[in-house]
Amino acid sequence: MGSMSELRPLLREMKAHREDMSGDRNSGCRTSAAMSGSGGRGGSGGRGQKAGSARRGGWEDAGVEFYREAYPTSVDNIYDTRITTLLPSKRHNVNSLGRGTVRRRASQRSRRQPPTTTATLVHTSRRGSDTYLEVLPDLTQGVDEEETWEKLQQIRAHAVPIEEKRKLKQQLQSAPTLRTRGLAAFKLSRRKFFSQTKSRLREMISKIELWHWSLRYVEGNFGTGLVAFFTFIKWLLYLNLFTCVLLGVFILVPQIFLVHSKDSCIVDSWPNSVYDNETFLYENDTNCCTKYYNEIQSNSPKRDNYYLIQLVQDGVQGTGPLELSYLFYGYYPRHILVLEVAPEWKYNLPLAYLLVLVVTLILSLVLMVRAAARGLRESLRSSEGQFYQYCNLIFGGWDYCIENNKAASIKKKAIYNELCNHLETERYNEEKEQRTKKERCRLYMVRLLVNMVVLALLSVSFVAIYKSTIFAFDHLKDAKDSKESEQDKLMILLFEYLPSGVIVTLNIIIPYLLRALVKLEHYTPNSILVLTLIRTVFLRLASLVILLISIYQSIPACPDSKPSECIDECTRPWCWETYVGQQLYKLTILDLIIMFLTTFLVNFPLKCIGHKLMRGSQIGAAIGDIEFAIPKHVLDIVYGQTLCWLGMFYSPLLPAVTCIKLVLVFYIKYFDCKVNSSQSSQLYRTSRSNALFISILLVSFIVTIIPVGYSIAEIKPSLACGPFRGLDTIWSEMLAVIEESPDWLKAVLLFLGTAGFAVPAIIFLILAGYYYYAVAAANKHMVSLLKNQLVLEGHDKQFLLSRLNHMIKMSAEEGGENTSARSSRPVEDETGHSNDQTLEA
């Protein structure tokens, strides 16, 4: 401790190596380190003035310099860099299976000791520019096949060139192994088979990936931020396909292939049928209503002139022949379906309809939460109290997929802008601290004012939508009754599309206003983005909700006079579920048409005018430069998906329609991106974008569950159509089934609905949440403690290294004066151990 004796062996060793230039290469990386790092002792010669005090020797005499050199923060290493290569941490960096195993991680399934002690050791040293390897095979114990196989798999994780990996693999395979027998052999072969199949499957799937080349083009020219958007569309397409398949298999296919008994309508027995016991099969009163409804639909006056236009209109609105088709709820019968050849095989269609829809919604929720959790985990991990803003930008900012020089220069500019932004934000924050009270007050007043204006705008738009819907509905009723003249037909068309038109107009105007307003509020660019997004989402979703409310208003519960009165005086559609389905179907098609029109008839001409006709001028650039604003397009997609979820219950084929629509939308947006848009100057971070898209989707999903759930549970289904006619609510179907199930099942299910289950469950969830929060807080505290400790250790290390350097120099000078006998002690070469020995001797 503090004496020269410890350092003497070290010094001797260094001298010996200096003399022994052509030393054997077997001595581990220390040798090469010392040899190739011998850029002379010039590096350490800069402290000549300390030589005087060094002569005196000993720690006590260092005095003032002791403290002056204690905490170096400048780059100049004041210790000889050769010394640093002797540190255990540096040795660990360069040995034993690459850098990763500092953590002494055992192989995943090993039941034996960790492989580092028995495995082959690979040393790589990168001093200077040399790379050489030393491999020490360990043949002390026979290794069995499983371990060999595991090591072979892990070779991939080494960061060495392919040749070395090949050598390593050869070595592992040629080393003598014990054969495994029996059950272990079987398990091993199964594992091998699985992993091979998995990798082959992955390769095959990647070859048949949908839209591979289009995505590659976008990636090469616009960066991965934009690709995230198109990948989102693809993911939604898969989700919708999955929903489609479920609905098709359980609702559509039975309906097509199985048969059911006919509805019989016996007019005379109306008064008695109320007491009919067979709740499923024959309900005469509603049968008559159905019959009447079907007759009305099929006998509606055919307008033979303008047949094609009529067809197109019906196709878009879902009226006419489409109304009584598989597309809408109204067509599905309230019967138990049976197989024609084997009448004992029954299929309860109403129950299936209800259950399949509920299950589909739950499965969609699960899939979305899984996808969102993946993104959330990443963003949480990166911000457990601290987000590495600058490091993330500098080290992870360059997108290696970019192939286009122009795109590269734009990306560079974007990175430059973002870095400048960050620096500015910091300066701005510093300034903000020093803002006077008056200025702060003013800013808050402005913000409050802007928020109120935004609220006012939003409420005005909501009222406008509501009023227009009610207006249209009322006038439609009047106009339909007197449809004679051509003018009336035009009015009918106008009224049909009035609510949708109002929504679309508002969706175009309001975001502009919001963007202009948010500039007044002086937020950071991040906050601006999030705030604008939230407000626009509000607008879009709320307009949908208002539409739903207005539809709900137009199906008032008529006073039930008699249950058999389906022909009543209320002015509501015969089959309100089909009506709702039709509205949503219409909105979907309209959405698609508008996207098409905007891209081809608005953006494309603008670009042509701006870039071709008025080339070079300022105005031309201003008109023609359209940026592909991702948030706006994401909201379009999410809106379409919301319509699909809302309408799924009332129109089982709507997911299929949405699938086709998504394919078309992909190509429309791709054209928009490729041809119309110029490069965006904003940096889109993929990770954040993904999490953002899916969380917006989740929010809209939750918003759609509420109306659908309410309509299932509370609203009386219409008498004339659908699988649930005649019941009080749709949910009572489920209740009836529960009633008829075995007792124990009934008891369990009913118990789940009572308060005795709900309250303890809620309490338990709250406690679990609190526990996890406490654990997380404790971990955070631990992390900050460890960080502080690390800094102190770092300072210690530097201090000690500088003293060591000092000592070595002193003793070297002393040793140079007295040429005493140097015993060239043979150096031991147990790699990894001799070092510690030397330092502890």
Partner 1 sequence: MDKLLSLPELRANPFGERMCLIFSSTKDGDCTFEDFLDMMSVFSEAAPKSVKAEYAFRIFDFDGDDYLGRSDLEETITKLVSPQRFSSEDMKALVNRVLEEADLDDDGMLAFAEFEHVISKSPDFANSFRIRL
Binding site for partner 1 (CB under 8 A): 72-75, 81, 89-90, 93, 98-100, 102, 126, 128-129, 156-159, 161-163, 216, 219-220, 224, 378-379, 381-382, 386, 388-392, 394-405, 407-409, 412-413, 415-416, 419-420, 423, 685-688, 787, 790-791, 793-795, 797-798
Rounded to whole angstroms, the Cα distance separating 241 from 659 reads 7
Least Å distance, CB 691 to partner 1, is 9
Min separation Cβ 202 and partner 1, Å: 8
Closest CB to partner 1 among residues 98, 832? 98
- Under DSSP, the state recorded for 5 is T
Q: Give the other-Cβ count within 10 Å of 191's Cβ.
A: 15
Phi, psi dihedral angles at 177 (to 5 degrees): -125, 155
**Closest approach of partner 1 to the CB of residue 427, in Å:** 9
Burial (CB count within 10 angstroms: exposed 0-12, middle 13-18, buried 19+), residue 535: buried
Closer by beta carbon to partner 1, 384 or else 836: 384
**In terms of C-beta density within 10 A (0-12 exposed, 13-18 middle, 19 or more buried), how is residue 21 classed?**
exposed
Amino acid letter, 596: F
Of 56 and 412, nearer to partner 1 (C-beta) is 412
Q: What is the distance between the alpha carbons of residues 579 and 573, in angstroms, rounded to a whole number?
A: 7
- Closer to partner 1 by Cβ: residue 126 or 489: 126
- Of the two residues 398 and 428, which places its CB atom closer to partner 1 in the complex? 398
Nearer to partner 1, 26 or 788 (CB): 788
Q: Which is nearer to partner 1, 89 or 140 (CB)?
A: 89
Q: Least Å distance between CB 382 and partner 1?
A: 5
Closest to partner 1 by CB, 142 or 161: 161
Helix, strand, coil percentages (3-state) for the chain, rounded to 5, are: 70, 5, 30
User: Count of alpha carbons within 13 Å of 360, Cβ hemisphere only?
Assistant: 26
Tell me the closest approach of the beta carbon of residue 737 to partner 1, in angstroms.
47
Helices (H) and strands (E) in the chain, counts: 30, 8
Closest CA to 397 of 117, 687, 176: 687
Of the candidates 398, 416, 418, the residue with the CA atom closest to the CA atom of residue 408: 398
Q: Which is nearer to partner 1, 8 or 688 (CB)?
A: 688
DSSP 625: -
Least distance to partner 1 from the beta carbon of 632, Å? Answer: 23
Residue 405 CB, nearest distance to partner 1 (Å)?
5
* Residue 387 Cβ vs partner 1, minimum distance, rounded to whole Å: 8
Amino acid at 531: L
Whether the CB-CB separation of 798 and 81 falls below 8 Å is answered with no
Q: Sign of torsion, CA 576 577 578 581?
A: positive
Q: Which is nearer to partner 1, 382 or 729 (CB)?
A: 382
C-beta separation of 353 from 246 below 8 A: no
Residue given tokens 């000592």 in the structure block? 807
Complex with partner 1: residue 381 or 437, whichever CB lies closer: 381
Rounded to whole angstroms, the Cα distance separating 744 from 446 reads: 63
Smallest gap from residue 119 Cβ to partner 1 (A): 17
For the bound state, the minimum distance from the C-beta of residue 653 to partner 1, rounded and expressed in Å, comes to 36
- What the block records as the tokens of 240 is 């919708």
Nearer to partner 1, 93 or 811 (CB): 93
CB of 153 to partner 1, least distance (A): 11
Q: Is the four-CA dihedral 531, 537, 542, 545 of positive or negative sign?
A: negative
Q: How far is the CB of 812 from partner 1 (least distance, A)?
A: 24
- Residue among 530 and 626 whose Cβ is closer to partner 1: 530
What is the SS3 assignment for 642? helix
Q: Are 171 and 137 in contact (CB under 8 A)?
A: yes
**Smallest distance, partner 1 to C-beta of residue 59, A:** 22
- Report residue 201: phi and psi, to 5°: -65, -45
Quote the strand ranges of 336-426, DSSP E.
336-338, 346-348
Rounded Cα–Cα distance for residues 296 and 720 (Å): 11
- Nearest distance from C-beta of residue 415 to partner 1, angstroms: 6
Q: Please identify, using beta-carbon distances, which residue of 394 and 841 lies nearer to partner 1.
A: 394
In the chain, the amino acid numbered 575 is: C
Do the strands 677-678 and 626-627 form a parallel or antiparallel pair, or are they unpaired? parallel
Distance CA 450, CA 514 (A): 9
Query: DSSP letters along 247-274, please?
Result: HIIIIIHHHHH-B-PPP---GGGTTTGG
Is the CB of 145 or the CB of 378 nearer to partner 1?
Answer: 378
C-alpha closest to that of 246 among 582, 578, 652: 652
Q: How many angstroms separate the Cα of 62 from the Cα of each of 48, 50, 53, 359, 608?
A: 15, 9, 7, 78, 78
Q: Compute the least distance from the CB of residue 78 to partner 1, in Å.
A: 12
Q: Which is nearer to partner 1, 96 or 588 (CB)?
A: 96
Q: What one-character-per-residue DSSP string does 710-758 give? A: HHHHHSPPPSSSSTTTTSSSTHHHHHHHHHTS-HHHHHHHHHHHSHHHH
Separation between Cα atoms, residue 589 and residue 322, nearest integer Å: 14
Sign of the C-alpha dihedral, residues 443, 449, 452, 458? negative
Q: How far is the CB of 193 from partner 1 (least distance, A)?
A: 20
